[in-house]
Amino acid sequence: VGKSVHSVGAAIAADKEGADYLLAGTIFKTSPKPDTKPQGPALIRSIVAVTNKPVIGIGGITRKNAASVLDAGAIGIAAMSGILAAANPSKAAESLIDSMAKLPLLARQPR
């Protein structure tokens, strides 16, 4: 069971409630949530420091910034608007997957 969290406090609470993994965001600016202040990869680092649950980053993640989310300690990323809003969603998804596959192995390992 996953839990969406937006702060360290929420991550601690979700951990205590028995969440199996945490979906943490908003990491970068994203059009579906224009009034939400992005917290950057620092949010991932802060949450990873207080839980041993797997953390997945979400919010404005693209092929250009995905590595920074993984480097911060996320085990993966969730991407929606960048794919769904693309002229060719299939190609956008493939491009993101390809860029992540090219990351150094260390960036793809759970911390």
- pLDDT value, residue 37: 92
Query: What is the spatial distance between Cα 82 and Cα 84, in angstroms, rounded to a whole number?
Result: 6
- pLDDT value, residue 108: 47
- pLDDT value, residue 103: 75
List the pLDDT tens digit at each of the 111 positions of the chain: 999 999 999 999 999 999 999 999 999 998 888 888 999 999 999 999 999 999 999 999 988 899 899 999 999 999 998 899 899 999 999 988 888 887 775 554 554
Residue 110 · residue 76 · CB < 8 Å? no
- pLDDT value, residue 105: 57
Tell me the HSE value of 5 on the side-chain side, using a 13 A CA sphere: 31
Give me the residues paired with residue 57 across strands: 24, 77
